[in-house]
Chain A
Amino acid sequence: MTASRRLIRFLLPSIAALCAMFALTAVIFILGVLLVRGLGSIDWAFLTSDTRSAGAEGGILYQILGTLILIATALAVAAPPALAIGLTRVVFLRSRPRAARVVDALLHALNGIPSIVFGILGLLIFLKFFDWGKSWLAGGILLGVMILPTLTVSLVERLAAVPRKYIEAAVGLGLTREQIITAVWLPQSWSGLLTGSLLGLARAAGETAPILFVTAVFSGATLPTGIRDNPVLALPYHVFVLAQDSFNDDARANLWGAALVLVLLVACFNLAALPLRLNLHEESRHV
């Protein structure tokens, strides 16, 4: 073997390893900073009490609740269309590749729309046209549309992995198409919807831009009592405002605590989805 071949044989994995290490260092650094600066602020009181003194004292109870309300709404908004589109894509469009490609392209496109464009659209539709004032529902709907592709793609992946044998057996037994859906497709693939939901919730929890204009206020909102003029507090918005506006060291400490809680919340959802995702990923790849 020539020297240059030996060199490449050594260099490629080494450089690759360096790249991976850079990425992992970035992760460790970010998590480390959050833990070091934020862990000190988090205790039970922090998580369950109201914000006081414009962020300097108190906790983030209503920010957490607000975020939970928003992502729950987003899921409620996204799940039915995701189910409809997913079923359509796999069950009904299997024999129409062109229409199938259109659906795939649309999902792709929807997924790529920048979150700030969602925010602007929300401002346009919910504030200008509907005159809703700041509303939790507006944010929930925007986030729902945003995470629709996440849910749908995950569901489609799982639906696609349902073995043909089952379908053929069901047809052979005389089931109608809709019976096959309820008896075979859905039970076999609910994990896909679950995974997609968890990933979607994780994504929706961390988004700031969609809720910047139409949903979030910095202080004062507790639980919504209606639709119009019913904003909520939200963790990402809280962090965003405090990042620009914290006026003393206490507020800054609380800022890091809120940031850490947000990251942990997102991580919980992502981690919950991990086992299901890994299963799917490995078994449907031809390696």
Chain B
Amino acid sequence: MKTNAATLGLVLAVAFSTSALAQQALRITGSTTINPVVSEAAETLRKENGLAITIDTAGGSTGGVNALGDGRADVGMSSRSLNDSDREKFPGVDFRPVSIGRDAVSMVVHRDVWEGGLRALSAEQIRGIYEGSIKNWNEVGGPDLRIVFFNREPGRGEWEVLTKFLYPGEKTAPRTNHAMVGSNEETRQKTATTRGAITFLSTPWADSKSVFALGIRNDADSVIEATGPNIASGSYPMSRPLFVITNGEPSGAAKVLIDYLLSDAGQALVAKHGYLKLADLE
């Protein structure tokens, strides 16, 4: 269509001419846990260094890794370690994860469960709940209330952390069937409004007002809370490094971003959102 082509040409001409620096933006995709930190870092870099950075969170941690592998993103944000299936899926990609901090995943419960006295669960109990063999809170020391387990969408870093904890050494977790929630806020909100609900969530998001974080009961029958020192020392089992990943050695804008995240200013952002700085881990 003549008119269509002309209009298109005009629009393109305007679009091209409105930019002073026609630079390719740095594309970042991935985990909603790391998003707040990287978003704020990107804002600063945009203002101070004039970098063009776009960020998206579709698909969570696995979405970020996949996008990086497919070449649809330059930097992937992942709140779980890379595993073998990632590398198998993208054999030609040189994944370079850089840890910018650490975060813990807690089992969080609805107010009724917390106020019913439950404060901790052991791995075996969590396994039972996850697989559906334990159906009522009174079987694990809580009130007489049906357990409603909210599973996280496939691809969420938290899910990988949980299954690695529950099924160490096994390649795949058993199939389960639960209602799904996606990002951290949806998880928190739906757990807070469903009686007897339990899910697993990035610890800083458990605000102790709407949802409550449980401790993990270990083999010695003592309860480990998800506090800073416990996470740093590794005694709290469900913790995960927060990664920004590049394909190959980071360069250009990606390098600027990563350097910033590792600097004091960037690490302050990590702490601001409740995660552990690298310095805290030593």
Q: Within 8 Å by CB, do A and B touch in the complex? A: yes
Query: Could you tell me which A residues sit within 8 Å of B by CB distance?
Result: 50, 52-54, 72-73, 76-77, 80-81, 84, 127, 133-134, 212-213, 216-227, 229-231, 241, 243-247
Contact for B52 among A84, A212, A220, CB less than 8 A: A220
* 8 A-B pairs with C-beta separation under 8 A: A53-B43, A84-B1, A217-B56, A219-B55, A220-B46, A220-B53, A230-B25, A247-B185
Contact A76 B11 (CB under 8 A): yes
Main secondary structure of the interface of A (DSSP, over half): mixed
Contact B19 A73 (CB under 8 A): no
* Given known contacts A52-B43, A224-B15, A226-B16, A81 and B36 CB-to-CB distance under 8 angstroms: no
Closest to A233 in B: B54
CB distance from B51 to the nearest CB of A (A): 9
B35 cross-chain contacts in A, Cβ below 8 A: 54, 218, 245
Contact A229 B11 (CB under 8 A): no
Closest to A50 in B: B43
CB distance from B253 to the nearest CB of A (A): 11
Contact A220 B54 (CB under 8 A): yes
B72 cross-chain contacts in A, Cβ below 8 A: 127, 133-134
Contact B32 A76 (CB under 8 A): no
A53-B36, A224-B15 known, 7 other contacts, Cβ within 8 Å: A54-B39, A217-B56, A218-B57, A226-B15, A229-B25, A231-B54, A245-B32
CB distance from A11 to the nearest CB of B (A): 39
User: A-B pairs with CB below 8 Å: how many?
Assistant: 98
Contact A245 B24 (CB under 8 A): no
A212 cross-chain contacts in B, Cβ below 8 A: 58
| Complex CA–CA separation, A38 to B16 (angstroms) | 35
Contact A80 B25 (CB under 8 A): no
B3 cross-chain contacts in A, Cβ below 8 A: 80
A134 cross-chain contacts in B, Cβ below 8 A: 27, 54, 56, 72
Contact A245 B56 (CB under 8 A): no
- Interfacial residues of chain B within 31-83, with CB under 8 A of chain A in the complex: 32, 35-36, 39-40, 42-43, 46, 52-58, 72
**Residue B154 at the A interface, CB < 8 A?**
no
Closest to A81 in B: B1
Contact B53 A225 (CB under 8 A): no
Closest to A246 in B: B185
CB distance from A172 to the nearest CB of B (A): 31
| Complex CA–CA separation, A77 to B32 (angstroms) | 35
| Complex CA–CA separation, A220 to B1 (angstroms) | 34
* Given known contacts A226-B16, A226-B22, A227-B12, A218 and B184 CB-to-CB distance under 8 angstroms: no
Contact A218 B43 (CB under 8 A): no
**Residue B4 at the A interface, CB < 8 A?**
yes
- Across the A-B interface, the 7 shortest Cβ-Cβ residue pairs: A220-B54, A225-B19, A54-B39, A217-B56, A244-B186, A245-B183, A80-B4
Question: Which of A72, A77, A219, A223 has the most C-beta atoms of chain B within 10 angstroms of its own C-beta?
Answer: A219
